[in-house]
């Protein structure tokens, strides 16, 4: 009991606990779930200016924590028993407001959970709250016209990235140890990079997507934002119903082959991002990794652009309509469209609805799906994964831009738009391969930069094990002040 009192007297350490560490502390009696939840609720109130959450039901969180404490005393062994975890507000949550980031669903309380949420509840997790996001997950900066701009915990004048904006901010600010997110072209990995946390996008289909508002059935994945790879491994084991792999005791990277493609992934990136990436490569090589420089082709960026965006835009309307109908969501596609904020409404009007000037024809869509995507997959398989264990690159080409410049900003003396933030991440989505972003360094301004590792389709367990070894070599990046 003395150990419990020492840990909990000030509560100063509790918010630093990750999922695995919190579960262990709860099982050992070092802290109660109610005390942990209470401490995190205090932090949520203290950091309300970040706009990381749309909904938190404090009473329900504390009651769930008290229920978990009774289970702990009864020696239940659920892997996440009593551990708070947040959820992007694109996931249905039974009895807890689910807005999808829109105004028209401000009071919608679903009758059932998304499958991933249900499985985590079964594992003992407490749903702490619903994270802010871009409306319908359609964006890369973190602006929500109805629920406010999500702000970067490292510097509130800068964006979080999106669309899992609140999820990344909440994890980086130590409000929660982890949060469910969603990724279509980089919506987990981009905010993970810009907010200095780990962001894991599984192979599509590995984690359940039922009950999560879609953009594209082809590109969408559910995933996690956390502060360590081991926490991603824990949630992965729960959602694929597989035993958790033991930690690799290897301290270096001897025998590991890592590919990188500077012609593609370092083109037009910020100079400080390239410097940090090359310094990271040096660390990995010093730890025993073999580095394999590859070239994905002079047309790689053009190939991925003409593959990703036609699929992304063409599949949105039918995917959203099917989701609304199959989950008894009490609004129509047209009502959602009409209620969107100006920026995203314009995007949907231009490219998502058939009357739009940039609507993707069926022919162009099928060409992307049946020609561009297979070619992208073939190229990565033959050039990269036939020679290396993983492909490495800077997750985002730059650190987080300032909020006032989020639609257009300068990188390396060149003016770019917000979609530039996903320039390195969306090829992985089009190819249907898993990726994980790790904190790599801080820029001279104190803003995070991320390192992404991609692996061949279906090699998620190997990717996570490798990412844990790489994480050890890179070392921790300081959290926000």
The Cα–Cα gap between 112 and 115 comes to 9
Fold classified for 84-243+250-474: Amidase signature (AS) enzymes (3.90.1300)
pTM: 0.97
Burial of 359 (0-12, 13-18, 19+ CB in 10 A): middle
3-class DSSP assignment, residue 130? strand
Catalytic site residue from 88, 130, 151, 201: 88
- Token pair in block for residue 428: 């992985």
Catalytic site residue from 32, 163, 164, 437: 163
Please, are residues 167 and 181 in contact by the beta-carbon 8 Å criterion?
A: yes
The Cα–Cα gap between 228 and 196 comes to 11
The Cα–Cα gap between 376 and 355 comes to 30
Instruction: Pinpoint the alpha helices (H) of 138-255.
Output: 165-172, 189-195, 229-239
CA angle 423, 426, 432 (to 5 degrees): 155
pLDDT in tens, 378-399: 999 999 999 999 999 999 999 9
The Cα–Cα gap between 69 and 445 comes to 43
Specify the pLDDT at position 481: 84
The Cα–Cα gap between 64 and 70 comes to 10
| DSSP type of residue 148 | -
Report how far apart, in Å, the C-alpha atoms of 339 and of each of 83, 105, 146, 464 are: 36, 10, 10, 40
In the annotation, is 130 catalytic? no
The residues with which 454 forms a beta bridge, in sequence order, are 391, 435
Please, are residues 294 and 259 in contact by the beta-carbon 8 Å criterion?
A: yes
* Displacement of CA 281 from its chain's centroid (Å): 23
pLDDT in tens, 96-116: 999 999 999 999 999 999 999
The Cα–Cα gap between 178 and 470 comes to 20
The Cα–Cα gap between 233 and 221 comes to 16
Specify the pLDDT at position 12: 54
Please, are residues 128 and 176 in contact by the beta-carbon 8 Å criterion?
A: yes
The alpha carbon torsion through 280, 281, 282, 283 (nearest 10 deg) reads 50
Count CB atoms within 10 A of the CB of residue 243. 6
- Token pair in block for residue 439: 């904190």
The two beta strands, 390-394 and 257-260, are: parallel
Specify the pLDDT at position 11: 54
The Cα–Cα gap between 163 and 192 comes to 11
Q: DSSP secondary structure string, 328-360? A: T-SS-HHHHHHHS-HHHHHHHHHHTSTTSTTPP
Specify the pLDDT at position 4: 45
Specify the pLDDT at position 250: 77
Specify the pLDDT at position 334: 98
Closest CA to 122 of 130, 131, 113: 113
Name the stretches of the chain with pLDDT < 50. 1-6, 8-10
Catalytic site residue from 8, 32, 164, 187: 187
Specify the pLDDT at position 5: 40
In the annotation, is 88 catalytic? yes
Closest CA to 226 of 293, 171, 147: 171
Q: Is the peptide bond before 163 cis (omega within 30 degrees of 0)?
A: yes
In the annotation, is 8 catalytic? no
The Cα–Cα gap between 203 and 44 comes to 32
- Token pair in block for residue 365: 């869509």
Closest CA to 191 of 458, 476, 422: 422
CB hemisphere CA count around 453 (13 angstroms):
30
Please, are residues 64 and 129 in contact by the beta-carbon 8 Å criterion?
A: no
The residues with which 449 forms a beta bridge, in sequence order, are 441
């Amino acid at each position: 009991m003395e150990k419990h009192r020492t840990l909990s007297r000030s509560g100063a350490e509790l918010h630093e606990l990750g999922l695995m560490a919190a579960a262990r502390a709860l099982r050992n009696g070092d802290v109660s779930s109610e005390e942990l939840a209470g401490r995190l609720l205090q932090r949520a109130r203290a950091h309300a200016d970040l706009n990381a959450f749309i909904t938190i039901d404090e009473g329900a969180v504390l009651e769930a924590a008290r229920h978990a404490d009774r289970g702990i005393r009864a020696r239940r062994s659920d892997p996440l028993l009593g551990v708070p975890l947040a959820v992007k507000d694109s996931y249905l949550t039974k009895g807890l407001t689910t807005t999808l980031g829109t105004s028209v669903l401000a009071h919608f309380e679903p009758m059932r959970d998304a499958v991933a949420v249900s499985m985590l509840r079964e594992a003992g997790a407490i749903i702490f709250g619903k994270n802010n996001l871009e409306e319908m997950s359609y964006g890369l900066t973190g602006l929500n016209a109805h629920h406010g701009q999500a702000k970067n915990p490292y510097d509130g004048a800068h964006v979080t990235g999106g669309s899992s904006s609140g999820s990344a901010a909440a994890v980086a600010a130590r409000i929660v140890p982890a949060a469910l997110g969603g990724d279509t072209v980089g919506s987990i990995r981009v905010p993970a990079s810009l907010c200095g946390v780990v962001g894991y996008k599984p192979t599509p289909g590995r984690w359940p997507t039922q009950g999560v508002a879609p953009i594209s059935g082809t590109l969408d994945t559910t995933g996690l934002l956390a502060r360590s790879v081991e926490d991603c491994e824990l949630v992965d084991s729960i959602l694929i119903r597989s035993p958790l792999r033991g930690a690799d005791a290897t301290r270096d990277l001897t025998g590991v082959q890592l590919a990188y493609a500077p012609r593609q992934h370092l083109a037009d990136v910020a100079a400080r991002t390239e410097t940090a990436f090359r310094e990271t490569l040096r660390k990995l090589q010093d730890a025993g990794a073999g580095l394999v420089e590859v070239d994905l082709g002079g047309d790689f960026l053009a190939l991925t652009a003409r593959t990703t965006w036609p699929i992304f835009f063409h599949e949105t309307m039918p995917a959203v309509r099917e989701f609304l109908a199959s989950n008894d969501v009490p609004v129509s596609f047209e009502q959602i469209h009409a209620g969107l904020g100006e920026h995203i409404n314009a995007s949907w009007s231009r490219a998502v609805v058939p009357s739009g000037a940039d609507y993707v024809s069926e022919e162009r869509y099928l060409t992307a799906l049946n020609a561009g995507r297979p070619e992208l997959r073939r190229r990565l398989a033959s050039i990269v994964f036939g020679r290396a264990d993983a492909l490495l690159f800077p997750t985002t080409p730059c650190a987080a831009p300032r909020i006032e410049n989020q639609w257009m900003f300068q990188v390396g003396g060149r003016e770019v738009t917000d979609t530039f933030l996903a320039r390195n991440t969306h090829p992985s989505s089009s190819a249907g391969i898993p990726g994980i972003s790790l904190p790599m360094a801080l820029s001279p301004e104190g803003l995070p930069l991320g390192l992404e590792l991609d692996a061949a389709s279906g090699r998620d367990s190997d990717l996570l094990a490798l990412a844990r070894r790489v994480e050890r070599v890179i070392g921790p990046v300081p959290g926000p002040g």
